[in-house]
Amino acid sequence: MMRRYLLTLPVILGLSACAGSDAVSTALPPGYLSAAREIVAAADWSNPETVTVTLANYRFSPGEFDLHRDRPTRLVLVNPTATDHAMVAEQFFREVAVRQLVGPTGTTPAPWISKVVIPAGQTREIWLVPARYGAFRFKCDVTGHSAFGMNGLINVIP
């Protein structure tokens, strides 16, 4: 009986937790790409590579995908669910130059970010240039969602 209670509790927390807000900085945080603004300014944004990731309860689809180093990219995050979700990718965001966040309410210049919230029923875009090779984990940090499977992997390849 007791064990059953303990297993049920995270589910309740997960469904009721809120996603918080974007983590965006206009000043260079420690460990981030200092040349982000210069990389963004030098990139050709006329034909960015578009990668779409759909958020579900509780997974990212695709859960693993490739991005190309030095290629301007639109990372489109679609949340068709009735639940707020987030994309948190601390190491990945340290290694990319972010031009802007795009959403229903407009465009936010975002040189340095660590988290993007995708509210229920909305789509957000992150315009970025991957600057270093690697395999980078990402997750949704709403309570319980990562434990339920909202995790993924981005491979930055040539």
Taking the complex as a whole, how short is the minimal distance between the CB of residue 130 and Cu ion, in angstroms? 23
Please say which residue, 58 or 112, places its beta carbon nearer to Cu ion: 58
Question: Among 40, 101, 116, 150, which residue sits at the site for Cu ion (rule: CB under 5 A)?
Answer: 150
Of the candidate residues 85, 115, 124, 139, the single one contacting Cu ion (CB under 5 A): 85
Determine, following the binding rule CB under 5 A, whether residue 129 of this chain makes contact with Cu ion.
no
Interface residue with Cu ion, options 142, 144, 152, 156 (CB under 5 A): 142
Give whichever of 99 and 115 is closer to Cu ion, judged by the CB atom. Answer: 115
- From CA 47, how far away is CA 127, in angstroms rounded? 12
* Residue 126 found at the interface with Cu ion (CB under 5 A): no
User: Could you say which of 87, 113, 128, 140 contacts Cu ion (CB under 5 A)?
Assistant: 140
> Which residue sits closest to Cu ion, CB atoms considered?
140
Size of the site for Cu ion (CB under 5 A): 5
- Reported for 154-157, long-range contacts at CB under 8 A and 24+ positions apart, including other chains, are 154/64, 154/65, 154/66, 154/67, 154/89, 154/92, 155/64, 155/65, 155/66, 155/67, 156/66, 156/67, 156/68, 156/69, 156/95, 156/130, 156/132, 157/66, 157/67, 157/68, 157/69, 157/133
Residue 102 CA to residue 125 CA, distance in Å, equals 5
Is residue 116 close enough to count as binding Cu ion by CB under 5 A? no
**Which is closer to Cu ion, CB of 39 or CB of 140?**
140
Partner residues linked to 134 by β-bridges: 156
Report if residue 97 touches Cu ion, rule: CB under 5 A.
Answer: no
Interface with Cu ion (CB under 5 A): 85, 140, 142, 145, 150
